[in-house]
Amino acid sequence: MVTGGARSGKSSYAESLALLLAPDPIYLATARIWDDEFRERVRRHQERRGPQWTNIEEEKFLSKHDVSGRVVLVDCLTLWATNFFYDMESDVDKALDAIKAEFHKFTSQDATFIFVTNEIGMGGTSGNELQRKFTDMQGWMNQHVASCANAVIMMVSGIPVKIKG
């Protein structure tokens, strides 16, 4: 698991790690395109990756893809969780149960997984109830994935800091 704040270097670090582990990794993108600015952000990410990547776009059901024997970079857990949270009408318990179940179904495959995620709860507490609910859910999901991970790296200003492993 590679975690950190916005623009901390998470994706670049995770991509480098995946390429160290395999010449042909899978990039599994979980983003749902909400607006033009985000579309451009996704385009820049795609442009940075070379032809050695197998690109898969999947908003929610990662387990429907057979990734056995491969190195898989999932970018990112936060956007993946957003999709469940949104589709389940902001019901934290329901969304958290669903994403945990899908996480375990997906990671039961014999593959090497690298999950990129955001530490969105490191700032102040939001005045927006919906944001507080999502921050709580995301924090609990990050804890769950970190407990399952062999290694956790936190990116701080482009510098990888080993947290676990």
Query: Tens digit of pLDDT for each residue in 29-85?
Result: 998 787 888 778 777 777 777 889 999 999 999 999 999 999 999 999 999 999 999
Q: Which of 45, 65, 104, 144 is catalytic?
A: 45
Superfamily of structural domain 2-164? P-loop containing nucleotide triphosphate hydrolases (3.40.50.300)
Exposed / middle / buried, residue 31 (Cβ in 10 Å: 0-12, 13-18, 19+): buried
* Global confidence as pTM: 0.91
Query: What is the model's pLDDT at position 69?
Result: 98
Exposed / middle / buried, residue 114 (Cβ in 10 Å: 0-12, 13-18, 19+): buried
Exposed / middle / buried, residue 18 (Cβ in 10 Å: 0-12, 13-18, 19+): buried
Query: Tens digit of pLDDT for each residue in 119-134?
Result: 998 877 778 899 999 9
Query: CA 14, CA 26: separation in Å to the nearest integer?
Result: 12
* pLDDT higher than 80, residue 158: yes
Read off the amino acid at residue 147: S
To the query of whether residue 45 is one of the catalytic residues in this protein, the response is yes
The structural domains of the chain, with segments of one domain joined by +, span: 2-164
Query: What is the model's pLDDT at position 98?
Result: 98
Residue 160: what are its φ and ψ, rounded to 5°? Answer: -75, 130
